[in-house]
Chain A
Amino acid sequence: MANLSANPAITPELIAKHGLSPEEYEKVLVILGREPSFEELGVFSVMWSEHCSYKNSRPELRKFPTTGPSVLVKAGEENAGVIDIGDGWAVAFKIESHNHPSAVEPFQGAATGVGGIIRDIFTMGARPVFLMDSLRFGSIKGDSEQAKTNRRLFAGVVAGIAHYGNCIGLPTIAGEVYFDDSYNGNPLVNAFCLGILRHEQIARGAAEGIGNPVFYVGAETGRDGLAGAAFASRELTEESKADRPAVQVGDPFREKLLLEACLELLATDCVAGIQDMGAAGLTCSTCETASRGGTGVEIDIQLVPQRAKGQTPYEVLLSESQERMLVIVKKGQEATVKEIFEKWDLPYAEIGVVTDDGQMRVRNGKDVVVDVPARALADDGPLYSREAAPFTPPAPLDLATVTQADPLKALPQLLSHPSIASKRWVWRQYDHMVRTGTAVLPGSDAAVFIVREANKILAAATDCNAIYCKLDPSVGSRIAVAECARNLACSGAVPIGVTDNLNFGNPHKPENFYQLRAAVEGISEGCRAFGVPVTGGNVSLYNESPAGAIDPTPTISMVGRIDDIAHITTQSFKQAGDQIILIGETGDELGGSHYLLAIHGRKEGAPPVLVFEKEIAIHHALLSLIRKGLVRSAHDCSEGGLAVTLAESCFGTKFGATVDLGDTDQRPDVLLFNETQGRIVISVKASDVAVVEAELAKSCVHFRKIGEVTDKADLSIKTGGNCYSWSIDSLNETFEGAIPSLMES
């Protein structure tokens, strides 16, 4: 082993600085049978970070249902899961977080989050077709320093996503944004990408074929993003700003070239394996491809294209410079590969070779600086089963403690709450139409995208109500899955797969670990109930600021399939005279509701109850009606309850609605704003009401005709002896104006 004089000695302090515990270091000594070199210490540090090894979460993640007849590539096998969608076509999709980088540098943090997830998809041989994102920030209201910071983070993250997605030419077609002070100092940025491919195009990230050359292609390696995976795997502190060098800088133009070059390359027969350089960069891509291939890989650092002179092997190995790929080329095909990279003006180099000894070996010219068993590094990392704190489910909210707000005022207040208000300010900055497939624009329950080349219609939604998850992680997670499925059903889609992004606090704290475990179990239960596999995802732990952990946020993204263009359904009312039917029963709970939060400033009680059997029956009933051409619009009840749903169905149309909820002694605020699960508001032609009601009765789901779509742009709701009426124009102005007025102030 070369002893480069510039390298520091391996001291306990240096080991601790690398985030390795004394026990983990002992394991390194056993694996190597000697003291590691400085480079090897860095390599173990990033590979055994939570971000790369899932050491705290893997035992939990095994609980996910990951198999099914349509699963072509399972979760965890490759960079993204792959699901069959028929006729020889498949989709690859995944969500991934870039929370910590976005906290210290929102624009580049978010931009490179998008870049990273796109690479994960085209590494699979799939052509990326659309993006979604799930974002969380602290409150953006008011003049406090914290609110100003949150606005700056929000604006920066949105601009960063827009910068990368727009430039590379992928539409961002759906997403969600919530604002809650638990995200102060630690925003969440989860980016989703879906790609399409033929079954035979699935590419593998394995270093196959002893003697095959290893190519590096893409951006030159610089010092940016040094050890970002390790940075992502610790809590954010006041000093985290000093970690800005751990944030990468994105170049979407370079990635566009890389994307086109890689797809062109994968269409040839030259590639034995391909792997992007994401977290842990060159280190991770070499040892993972070797481990998957059951081979070894030997590379020479001096051959790697570099942005600056004088970078040390340590820096080159741990850099997370963006827009880079590792390609294992079939020997003899080098010329074709070079021709394609030259066509696209991409830097490339042959940097090594596949070996038969199972070692990840890195040379710096003649000197060997890393010589580690690849499998030990990639797959034999430490695994921890953390302690979960005991949890007592919260008591239901005592309604007597909640004063009745005037619904006339409460509805506009809810519609102007940034978490409920229109996100047009956000998605107008995203090109959501490029690739000419967006059939349902952002802002509806689920986005719908027509994949022209495959003649398939896909729908996608992303959801997580973290208030529910905070109050009861198990119930909240099940609701996140159910809401996604419900949103898909409202668009006319059947779910085909799930990817999840588990955003939690430090897992060493038992209450946080309980949340993680309960969420995984809740999601698993949900996915089993709906019969959809989890095809992969991402775990982001250590989401803490000095004020404490974030609310647990297990973001669910669900993809669905629509069989016929005629089945595409949106939330907007279509014609005056259409009848409005509420499917599902309204309960009397207010726990965890946005009404309770936005009007009363309380985040408490038990979240709404979710009964999968009821939920599934409702989705089936709705889909059956949609397929029969009987549904003009469908919109689920979520944050803000029935009144918000009805208002949203009027927005963007010239219609209003007259609704009568009948004689009831229920409190009007509970009836209008509670968030009972499993409810969908549909509108149907007046002449179809009888057949729709008969169908719903046959499906054994609870339903009730509640009103009619009108020509007059008013929403009026009668309940018990009360009648409330709002002007749609005025409500819409509140809904649309809320975020722009905060951001332009």
Chain B
Amino acid sequence: MKVAVIQFPGSNCDTDCQAALLFFPGVTAEIVWHKETSLAGYDVIVLPGGFSYGDYLRCGSIARFSPIMAAVRLAASTGVLVLGICNGFQILCEAGLLPGTLMRNRDLLFRCETLHLRVENNDSPFTSVLHQGQVLEIPIAHGEGRYFADAETLQALKANNQVLVRYCDASGNVSAAANPNGSLENIAGICSHGRNVFGLMPHPERVCDLILGGTDGRGIFQSMIDWMAAHKSNN
């Protein structure tokens, strides 16, 4: 599996994502500069966390105009897997590849801590090795992760099972107390209608090594690897 990790000016989780991906046998991960215009030959595209363009104007709002984004759109339209983490999620929303938006956290403070996530749906290339209802421990690190969408969009997201992960407590209860940022219905990550684009605020790449506090992030990458293997062999 060949992965492109896009480096926008201000990306700062690019090498973390690359290192996490390289844990997996058979995976190659390359950093691709945002001024490039082609992503031909890559199986998976990762938009990493960070502060692209310093978060100026609005998170992700300038990066969506980067030259590489045309190639990301094209790849997404052909079914290539696109994973947006944190700032990458914000960029995907700004680019219209995912519905909704991410606003300032409810208490207006940046928040970095390990939280619990409930897997809402494993019918996606990003959650296929996980179980529905499984609780993952994955850290967040953001100031603007409060997911919001209008009622109609939310309805459609739920109807199509596009909400893949929600913030929950240690026992898997999705409660107001377990919501770190005021996200609508505790939403932490959603996929596109076509299910090949996934954005989430938590950082799975930070929990792929036991020495760093856990390995719960691996399931998301492993799902993608397994899906790609099946998908490629089907072709």
Contact = CB atoms under 8 A, between A and B. Distances in A.
Interface in B129-178: 139, 141, 143
Interface size class, chain B: 20 to 34
Contacts of A435: 15-16
Interface string A641-681: 00000000000000000000000000000000000000000
A253 B203 contact: no
A6 B209 CA distance: 63
B212 interface: yes
Contact of B9 (A159, A253, A431, A568): A253
Given A436-B206, A436-B209, A439-B211, A167 B141 contact: no
B9 A439 contact: no
B10 A256 contact: yes
Nearest to A439: B211
A257 B10 CA distance: 7
B145 to A, nearest CB: 13
Nearest to A568: B211
A432 B19 contact: no
B212 A429 contact: no
A169 B50 contact: yes
A568 B210 CA distance: 13
B110 A166 contact: yes
Interface in A134-171: 159, 162, 166-169
B54 A252 contact: yes
Interface string A431-467: 1111111110100000000101000000000000000
Interface string A312-346: 00000000000000000000000000000001110
Interface in B35-62: 35, 49-51, 53-56
A71 B16 CA distance: 30
Interface in A533-565: 565
Contacts of A168: 12
A431 B143 CA distance: 10
B211 A252 contact: no
B21 to A, nearest CB: 12
A568 B212 CA distance: 12
A253 B56 CA distance: 9
A438 B212 contact: yes
A708 interface: no
Nearest to A163: B110
B210 to A, nearest CB: 10
B211 A450 contact: yes
A345 B50 CA distance: 18
Contacts of A251: 54
B12 A434 contact: yes
B205 interface: yes
Given A430-B112, A436-B16, A166 B141 contact: yes
B112 A256 contact: no
Contacts of B113: 428
Given A253-B53, A433-B141, 6 more contacts: A169-B50, A344-B9, A429-B112, A434-B12, A438-B212, A565-B211
25 contacts: A159-B109, A162-B110, A166-B51, A166-B141, A167-B51, A169-B51, A251-B54, A253-B51, A256-B51, A256-B54, A428-B109, A428-B112, A429-B112, A430-B110, A431-B110, A431-B112, A431-B141, A434-B16, A435-B15, A436-B16, A436-B19, A436-B206, A438-B212, A441-B213, A568-B211
